[in-house]
Structure 1
């Protein structure tokens, strides 16, 4: 390929593992394999780290979402984009566009007690990362943004709840805490029932049920529509999500709430794991696609041909989800999908797409905070809204945009692109129309087409809509990593990566060493991830 840089030949030419794509799953896998003593070659056709988990400037959005076709060799490795229905307005990027770093897979946060934090600490990559707290969690309720009463102090400050309702909610949260501490266990029969029914029998009012289901347990689907709901959350899973949320609140000294976000964007996470892998001997090469597979006479995988025309050999290969594995190299194993992890049977989702949107704005949703998560429960925007919409506003203090500017990420699971984009547009319209009638919010964001009606509001300066296909990871003769899913956290990605590692190396431990055993002396950013004493 004529546009490839003049890389010297890769030496050695044989590795235990070749990984293609530097998405979060592949980067964690590469760091784990290198930490287990495996020789790893990590390739990426992009000129930056992160792949589908990257953070890139607006100028690179269109080319990343709509990449040119890659030329392939005789075995015709099919490479396709997992994105469709891309709509960027305006096509011209905003001024100072290089000062913006936009997450491709947003909205995303990390809960302070979730699996991602556990892996970050166990692997030692926290020495390369820094986080800040999400300032506030809001829910869209009857046309207004309302604070979520997720702590004792917020419950008693909530003006919409009567005293009796506050006492009921406090009693319910106490029950959850007692169950987690095994002081008062919820019966097995109740744990197997739908969580929405358990909440109803706890005499919680509809508004509080909605808050618990969609803003704390982060459920995607309308739990009241059991006949049409794609996934009914059990009480067991619902309680576990509430315990996780409660355990996350104030766990770290720099995060009074439950959620944190990496400074410089979510793309810092795969870069940190790649850096950790490099310390353990992994070789990384960017701008380097693979164009062919090498197989022996029996059809077994043996290696790859790079776009530089060099042949590299390995025992194992893990592909980016945008590559389609040749059908004649797949096995007929009914449990070769990474969605079959015993800890998480719900990785597979009947909604096969996630609609995403990114907006650059000049006004915060709340005048006193920069980093805000907004939850739009199902049917809160319009009757046909089948899944929850999540909107995450990140401000300049996260170093992803200039001071005084904000980036708004939105997502919604969908089965059809038009369905998902409609939900996102309605959510943007709802935030646009926040105005004088909403006494809790001063200022609003408005679409550039409606400036005349919102003379006092700054417009949405730039926005991108796109639909991402949900692709599961796959373990077989050749493995593939999963795409980012539609969840707010990374738990599914972490579980799929752990399963992939265990399938590849069943005798090895996943990040066996403690972070203190070795560190990168050049690390210049240290995250405060020490629990409160």
Structure 2
């Protein structure tokens, strides 16, 4: 559609309990939850698609989105200053992406027709743990009616010698793993048994087997110290820390580690991983991925919101915030069409900032110093010929000595409807402080598994043998790299939702989202009527492809 906002008929009604700008996952969850509680909700988005910073797009649309959101936007159209009892605060977009680098090495293969067949995640790599809170929320909300999932086949750790080692995520996997010696298998089994005994004995000092629980002192200590105390070898320790507990920073280097994982949190993450393995019959591993990409998640919640009466309008920019002249409090919004709409509360996705200071509101929380470096590669062959969809974790120092953060790579194939048949999308991400550091980390990870053809020979297929196998490294057809900001602001009656973080799952994002909802509506329950009292988490209702 080519209509601009001025071609839309006026929105009716003009008064709402809640207006949201942006259809990202946090905004969509809040819209659905508020609608489920009988609130009148208007959901606006200046984009022609759902999902905002959580969307999945074709290659052309993704390139356009990244480029357009990586530079300061033009000044918003001036809003007339006339008003009855309110003043206007201009609303502007802010760049959340930077250092965007996009290369196509095979334009003949990835022409416009093929480009439109991709559904590439803007916030990848990302998965859902089968037993995490995201799955529970999808079930409770009823959003599972609008989305399908498929299990991720496997998970690997990249080792310093260039090999991919399977993550032993169950008792059976430990025994089958040929990369582990008998001593290592026994050590890993004893550790998992100790964790399980600790969890079973939560009611007292000793569990039923007479074994003491992990002490409070150990639970509050760094997880890496507890693993050292258990005398686990470096290889096993690395798998537990970075491929199961998903630690971001080098836990052995306290001088550079900004997020030291405590033992109690490490145990919680191990428990989540273990509970995720085999939860669903058609997903034998720990992870799920949505068919058609992660952009389906916000759309599913938007559909749920629409069923409950939420009004959604795309291609509708908001150019100003209406502020009460006397109190300075938020009152409503002005659309680019010139129409004024009013609501009790407003939520903005983090792409937007209020340009004039809100004198009656507390200052914004500002930006987190760290950023997320993200990369996307398209190939015509799998990193592992026998496996289509899998995760690779690069522990700190596995690529080069100065690597202080984990890097994660997720390969997704055409069976998940994200790319044409026979092609693969590989997502990379890592936390970083600046673009140089992020690009160095991503390039090292890409070079370890992939071949970048020479620009003057885009169709070349140079054979480069990896130490991992006798197969040649897949040749990259298309590549994108970009730096994403981590930012979240808050004002008294205007709240900003979180950007996609550097984690694999959505738990932290949804926790912040639900806290925001509960602050707005402290007396309301999130999705109260959709959960069955007898079985609020009916796994059979979760749609999984075979």
TM-score by length of 2: 0.87
Where does structure 1 differ by over 6 angstroms across 4 or more consecutive aligned residues? none
- Asked whether the 8 Å contact 1:330–1:478 carries over to 2, the reply is no
- Asked whether the 8 Å contact 2:361–2:492 carries over to 1, the reply is no
Which residue matches 2:536? none
Distance 1:128-1:166 versus aligned 2 partners, 3 A rule: same
1:331 Cα deviation from its structure 2 partner = 5.3
1:8 Cα deviation from its structure 2 partner = 1.5
1:46-57 equivalences under 5 Å are: 46-57=47-58
CA separation in 1, counterparts of 2:165 and 2:520? 47
- Asked whether the 8 Å contact 1:448–1:461 carries over to 2, the reply is no
- Asked whether the 8 Å contact 1:475–1:503 carries over to 2, the reply is no
CA separation in 1, counterparts of 2:20 and 2:64? 23
- Asked whether the 8 Å contact 1:134–1:257 carries over to 2, the reply is yes
Which residue matches 1:454? 463
**Superimposed CA distance per residue, residues 23-77 of structure 1 (whole angstroms, 9 cap, x where no aligned partner):** 0000001001111111000000000000000000001112211325362435332
CA separation in 2, counterparts of 1:327 and 1:492? 30
Which residue matches 1:199? 227
Which residue matches 2:184? 165
- Asked whether the 8 Å contact 1:474–1:480 carries over to 2, the reply is yes
Distance 1:356-1:287 versus aligned 2 partners, 3 A rule: same
Q: Which runs of 5+ in 1 are unaligned?
A: 340-347, 433-444, 518-525
Which residue matches 1:282? 310
- Which of the residues 172, 186, 211 maps onto 1:153? 172
- Which of the residues 382, 393, 396 maps onto 2:411? 393
CA separation in 1, counterparts of 2:21 and 2:298? 13
CA separation in 2, counterparts of 1:235 and 1:327? 45
Which residue matches 1:507? 523
CA separation in 1, counterparts of 2:389 and 2:242? 19
- Asked whether the 8 Å contact 1:114–1:244 carries over to 2, the reply is yes
CA separation in 1, counterparts of 2:415 and 2:224? 38
Which residue matches 2:74? 69
CA separation in 2, counterparts of 1:47 and 1:106? 21
Where 1:168 maps in the other structure, the secondary structure is helix
- Asked whether the 8 Å contact 1:294–1:304 carries over to 2, the reply is yes
1:429 Cα deviation from its structure 2 partner = 0.1
CA separation in 2, counterparts of 1:122 and 1:491? 15
Which residue matches 2:507? 491
- Which of the residues 350, 358, 369 maps onto 1:329? 358
1:426 Cα deviation from its structure 2 partner = 0.6
- Verify: 1:315 aligned to 2:341, yes or no: no
Where 1:328 maps in the other structure, the secondary structure is coil
- Verify: 1:111 aligned to 2:116, yes or no: no
Which residue matches 2:537? none
Which residue matches 2:216? 188
Which residue matches 2:39? 38
TM-score by length of 1: 0.89
Which residue matches 1:178? 197
1:515 Cα deviation from its structure 2 partner = 4.6
CA separation in 2, counterparts of 1:375 and 1:281? 43
Which residue matches 2:103? 89
- Asked whether the 8 Å contact 2:157–2:165 carries over to 1, the reply is yes
Where 1:66 maps in the other structure, the secondary structure is helix
